[in-house]
Amino acid sequence: MLARRIIPCLDIRNGKTVKGIRFENVVDVGDPVELGARYAQEGADELVYLDITATHEGRKLFADLVERIAAHLHIPFTVGGGINDLGDADVLLSAGADKVSINSSAVREPGLIDRIARGFGTQFVVVAIDAKLEQNKWTVFVNGGRIPTEKELFSWAREAQERGAGEILFTSMNHDGTRNGFACDTLRELSSGLSIPVIASGGAGNMEHFLEVFRDGHADAALAASIFHYNEIPVPVLKDYLKRNNIVVR
């Protein structure tokens, strides 16, 4: 069994780290470079930076930010937001990112997964999926969780894997920001149907939730934001708790 990973997530809007609840009510929570450096020092395994309002005009601003982040980090980090073609991925990877995360653009043009995987390798490609449980079906959403699609979580995740995704980052919109725990049953089903790692996102509120998502949800990594941003659960304390409960962490 590979060691499970703890991944703080930083949503970026106009160069600042922000946080919302169920993808709404967004507030500023700090400087992304300073926060990232703190998490790295505390023992986070990786970081994810998502530009949640990425536009063509803002892409250079984000690339500049990625360069500053890379200069202050010694752990891998993934970046996403506004990656619509191979050139966008190249800019961010060249700026220092270790992986790119694609979401809405992959749903609209699934071939983008193939092209990035062929161009850079599957290990550089994270396909993020935002989905909501409605009428017993996990519907995939795009545009930051604002627009529903005809795609379904499990079939889309399998297709993404077949096209070259190296990891799946699944965010349950029903759980996001609620602090009531991860979607463990769904994560377990998702993990069992894939051969690539699954990163769990949405719902972390206490240390027991991380234990549950690894033990019961079979997630390879767990991602959270608020509890880390507000220093409610320091990364070293969380890792010590998981080790004491027989979860292998780095």
CA distance 59 to 81: 9
Question: Known catalytic residue: 11?
Answer: yes
DSSP 161: H
Please state, in angstroms and as integers, the Cα–Cα distance from residue 202 to each residue in 20, 69, 181, 183, 250, following that order: 11, 24, 8, 8, 22
In 3D space, the residue among 164, 155, 94 whose CA is nearest the CA of residue 129 turns out to be 155
What value, to the nearest 5°, has the Cα angle with vertex 31 and ends 26 and 32?
85
Q: Which of 51, 130, 176, 220 is catalytic?
A: 130
Q: Which of 11, 45, 176, 220 is catalytic?
A: 11
The helix, strand and coil proportions of the chain, stated in percent and rounded to the nearest 5, come to 40, 30, 35
Question: Known catalytic residue: 98?
Answer: no
What value, to the nearest 5°, has the Cα angle with vertex 121 and ends 117 and 126?
65
Torsion of CA 202, 233, 10, 105, to 10 degrees: -20
Amino acid in position 191: S
Catalytic residues: 11, 130
